[in-house]
Every structure is written in C-alpha cells, then in structure tokens.
C-alpha cells in the first residue's frame, strides 16, 4: 500500500513562528499536494508539485511556501504563523497508470494550532 | 472555475438500508471520479474510483457515473453504523490530468446510519 507520512499529528505554535510541515511518500509518485481543511470550507489546495524542484500555487498560497528537493518529500512552510492558519493540514500524493490518474493517497494529517 | 457539488446533509439512513449519495460536476472534460470517506478527525480515505459510464461495484459499494448528465453517485448497501462519516466526491479534469490541476473536491455529505 502507498504510504504518505506526515511528520506530526498535532502541533502548537506561536504567532510569528516559522513552521515546517513535512510529508514523505514511498511509492515514487510524481505529484504531491498540500491541502488545508476547515469546517464548512472543505479541502482547499495550497500548493502542489509535479516534479522535483517544481511547485505550483493552488487556490490559497498566501502565507505559505513549499520545498521539494527530493521526489519523495514535500514540505510546507508557514513563513510567519498567524492564528488564521490554525487548521488541519493534509498532504497527498498521486501517480498515473494506464493513462489514468488514480486517486490521491492522503497522509494522516497535522492539526496545527497557532496561539 | 471547476465545481463539484454535493448536498452537505446530514443524510440519515436506517441500518440495513441503502444509502444514496450524489454529486454533480461542472467540467465536461472530467475523466476520473473518486469517492472518499472521512471519519471525524481523520484524513480522507479512497473507497471507490470510476472512469467510464455505468456502474462499478466493490463489496457493499456501487459507484455510478453518467457523463452526459455530469453526475456521479455512490450507493452503500446494507448500511452499517460504521459507515457513518463524511463522503467526499472528487473529480480530475481530463484536460490536465492529476498534475496541473489535481483533484477538485466537493465539500462532502455527512452520512448518519441510525441503529
């Protein structure tokens, strides 16, 4: 089974701190994604990457950056954490087979609280 | 703007009955369709994928796709209390695959199976 591992299940950080969320997948997938999920707003795409050192902005990239130095690892960086970034953060990866993209595999999520 | 619409619910179904979950999407070139189950506080889990018109069955789950009507559904037979969760519909556009745009998610339908 594909595994997507997020480094922390729960995090509490202070306003203004720089925060790193790490994600590693073990299936050699090309694509990796970072989402945040908030009640009533659903899943919102922050950034994605379809290759090493490549990154694309999603729907809500403001206040975030990403890094993908190796194919298996995709990091989300909150440059200066703010209370409105308190959320559940979900990493996902996906690949292609037979010409069809198959569904994402999600990590277990990181619940970040900024105080 | 690609959209995926679901009724937020809650949808209440008695144990043992058939639960029917519906989803419509706006992008006519969409080619890949997925259903995710998400328990409270957990990450989404892929339960069904469907790529062509018609029905696809997997155990108690049946996914139905009608591209002409831009409609996807999920049927859960012999509903169990453990099926109580939020079900997310997700769509990949055929024009860009899973790389450039990724999955577009609906906001989910909250399903409650009453014992």
**pLDDT tens for residues B58-109?**
999 999 999 999 999 999 999 999 999 999 999 986 544 444 456 889 999 9
| Backbone phi and psi for residue A38, each to the nearest 5 degrees, phi listed first | -130, 145
Instruction: Give me the total of CB pairs closer than 8 Å, taking one residue from chain A and one from chain B.
Output: 63
Mean pLDDT of chain A: 92
In tens, the pLDDT along B39-53 reads 999 999 999 999 899
CA triple A37-A35-A97, angle to 5 deg: 125
B42, B46, B97: residue with CB nearest A105: B46
Instruction: Write down the pLDDT at residue A113.
Output: 98
- Locate the chain B residue with the closest alpha carbon to A9: B42
In tens, the pLDDT along A42-79 reads 899 999 998 898 899 998 999 999 999 999 999 999 99
> Average pLDDT for residues B28-40, to the nearest whole number?
91
Closest CA–CA distance from residue A101 to any residue of chain B (Å): 6
Alpha carbons B88 and A115: distance in angstroms, whole number: 30
Instruction: Write down the pLDDT at residue A1.
Output: 66
* A21 close to B (CB below 8 A): no
Q: State the CB neighbour count (10 A cutoff) for residue A34.
A: 25
Asked if B34 and B6 count as a contact pair (C-beta separation under 8 A), the reply is no
> Average pLDDT for residues B33-40, to the nearest whole number?
95
Which residues of chain A are within 8 Å of residue B88 when distances are taken between CB atoms? 42-43
Residues of B with CB under 8 A from a CB of A: 31-32, 34, 36, 42-46, 49, 51, 88, 90, 92, 97-100, 102-103, 105-108
Alpha-carbon Rg for chain A, nearest whole angstrom, is 14
> Average pLDDT for residues A11-23, to the nearest whole number?
97
B32, B43, B106: residue with CB nearest A108: B43
Mean pLDDT of chain B: 90
Instruction: Write down the pLDDT at residue B114.
Output: 96
Alpha carbons A73 and A65: distance in angstroms, whole number: 14
Alpha carbons B21 and B51: distance in angstroms, whole number: 18
User: Given pLDDT bands bounded at 50, 70 and 90, which one contains residue A2?
Assistant: low
Whether A103 sits inside 8 A of B51 (CB atoms) is no
Q: State the CB neighbour count (10 A cutoff) for residue A36.
A: 23
B31, B34, B107: residue with CB nearest A103: B34
Which residues of chain A are within 8 Å of residue B99 when distances are taken between CB atoms? 30-31, 50, 101
């Amino acid at each position: 089974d594909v595994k997507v591992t997020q480094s922390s299940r729960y995090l509490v950080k202070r306003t203004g701190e720089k925060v790193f969320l790490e994600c590693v997948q073990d299936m050699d997938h090309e694509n990796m994604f970072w989402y945040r999920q908030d009640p009533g707003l659903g899943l919102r795409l922050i950034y994605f990457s379809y290759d090493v050192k490549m990154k694309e902005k999603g729907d809500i990239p403001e206040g975030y950056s990403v890094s993908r130095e190796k194919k298996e690892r995709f990091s989300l960086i909150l440059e200066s954490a703010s209370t409105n970034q308190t959320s559940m953060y979900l990493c996902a990866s996906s690949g292609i087979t037979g010409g069809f993209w198959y569904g994402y595999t999600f990590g277990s999520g990181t619940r970040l609280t900024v105080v | 703007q690609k959209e995926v619409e679901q009724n937020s619910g809650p949808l209440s179904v008695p144990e043992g009955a058939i639960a029917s979950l519906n989803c419509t999407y706006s992008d006519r070139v969409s080619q890949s369709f997925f259903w995710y189950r998400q328990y409270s506080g957990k990450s989404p889990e892929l339960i069904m994928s469907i790529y062509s018109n018609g029905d696809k069955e997997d155990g108690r789950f049946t996914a139905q796709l009608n591209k002409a009507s831009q409609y996807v559904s999920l049927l859960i037979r012999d509903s169990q209390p453990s099926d109580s969760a939020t079900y997310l519909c997700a769509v990949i556009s055929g024009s860009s695959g899973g790389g450039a745009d990724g999955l577009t998610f609906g906001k989910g339908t909250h399903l409650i199976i009453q014992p």
